[in-house]
């Protein structure tokens, strides 16, 4: 199975779950031959129980491959371990933000870093509602300082899951041009390509690795910028191991 097929199937399953919830429908991926690359302008199509089809065009917001794909892939391996462990072991729901200073590129380093991040959080958050690791708990720095320059943890009650956001930059996080810029640019680029055909196309935009929910400020900003787009619908997709969500933005 090719990497592109694996990625598209993952995106399709994430999209179908949220689309079906929102529309009370039954669309799903039935097999690779029928669903993958059915022809322009669609990258995949889904089928419902009545054999009706739903065609989706996919676009990415990547502008720097090393920064936005290669580095996130390694960081996500750490984050996915943390996410799995917190979901399975811990009853306290947290918002966690990590800035990676160096990228852990071996399985040994990934497991080591995930272990100590979990240990630091679980041994300190019970007595604190908020941790800004640059300010407090510096005695734990030696365990993870090779890879992490910043850690924030906050207890939360509004969602029954732990949410982990992350970035990767130098010792001080560098300015980031966010999804509120890249997503509209990707939408307008596709709109210029398909012109009048847009009204029949559902566009799925693969976003950056931040929590994607309707409550996030940057999602509200994106909705405002693309609300006059000619696409039939636009969905923001997080195809990252720790998040995997889809939000309709138009």
* Of 116 and 136, more confident: 116
* Reported confidence tier of residue 19, pLDDT bands at 50, 70, 90: very high
Strands (E), 103-183: 130-132, 148-155, 163-168
* Distance, CA of 17 to chain centre: 15
Q: Are 121 and 189 in contact (CB under 8 A)?
A: no
pLDDT in tens, 203-243: 999 875 555 666 566 788 889 999 999 999 999 887 665 56
Element (H, E) at 111: helix 107-122
d(CA 215, CA 213): 5
- Between CA 80 and CA 148 the distance in angstroms is 16
pTM exceeds cut of 0.85:
no
The distance from CA 62 to its chain's CA centroid, rounded to whole angstroms, is: 13
Euclidean distance between CA atoms 68 and 248, whole angstroms: 22
First to last CA, the chain: 32
Phi, psi dihedrals of residue 149, rounded to the nearest 5°:
-110, -15
**What pLDDT band is residue 24 in, cutting at 50, 70 and 90?**
very high
Per residue in 137-174, pLDDT (tens digit) is: 566 667 787 888 888 888 876 667 788 877 776 554 44
With a cut of 90, say whether residue 77 has pLDDT above it.
Answer: no
Tell me: pLDDT of 49 over 50.
yes
pLDDT in the model for residue 136: 46
Q: 141: buried, middle or exposed (CB in 10 Å: 19+, 13-18, 0-12)? A: middle
Cis-peptide, bond into residue 107, ω within 30° of zero? no
Band the pLDDT of 18: cuts 50, 70, 90.
very high
Are 81 and 56 spatial neighbours (Cβ–Cβ below 8 Å)?
no
Q: What letter does residue 28 receive in the DSSP assignment?
A: B
The CA distances from residue 4 to 10, 37, 40, in Å, are 10, 10, 16
- Reply yes or no on whether the pLDDT at 177 is more than 70: no
Q: Tell me what the mean pLDDT of segment 79-102 comes to.
A: 82
Question: Going by DSSP bridges, is the β-strand pair 233-238/202-206 parallel, antiparallel, or unpaired?
Answer: parallel
DSSP-derived letter for residue 175 is P
Residues in the chain: 250
């Amino acid at each position: 199975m090719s990497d592109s097929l694996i990625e598209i199937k993952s995106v399709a399953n994430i999209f179908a779950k949220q689309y079906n919830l929102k529309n009370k429908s039954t669309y799903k991926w039935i097999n690779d031959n029928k669903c993958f690359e059915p022809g322009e302008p669609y990258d995949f199509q889904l089928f419902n129980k009545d054999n009706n089809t739903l065609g989706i065009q996919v676009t990415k917001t990547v502008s720097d491959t090393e920064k936005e794909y290669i580095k996130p892939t390694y960081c996500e391996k750490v984050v996915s371990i943390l996410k799995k462990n917190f979901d399975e072991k811990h009853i306290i729901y947290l918002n966690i933000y990590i800035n990676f200073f160096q990228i852990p590129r071996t399985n040994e380093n990934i497991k080591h870093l995930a272990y100590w991040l979990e240990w630091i959080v679980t041994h300190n958050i019970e007595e604190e509602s908020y941790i800004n690791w640059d300010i407090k708990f510096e005695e734990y720095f030696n365990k993870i300082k090779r890879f992490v320059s910043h850690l924030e943890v906050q207890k939360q009650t509004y969602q029954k899951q732990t949410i982990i956001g992350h970035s990767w930059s130098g010792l001080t996080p560098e300015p980031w041009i966010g999804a509120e810029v890249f997503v509209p640019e990707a939408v307008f680029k596709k709109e210029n390509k398909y012109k009048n055909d847009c009204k029949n196309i559902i566009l799925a935009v693969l976003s950056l690795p931040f929590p994607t929910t309707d409550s996030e400020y940057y999602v509200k900003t994106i909705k405002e910028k693309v609300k006059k787009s000619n696409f039939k619908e636009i969905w923001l997709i997080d195809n990252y191991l720790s998040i995997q969500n889809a939000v309709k933005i138009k």
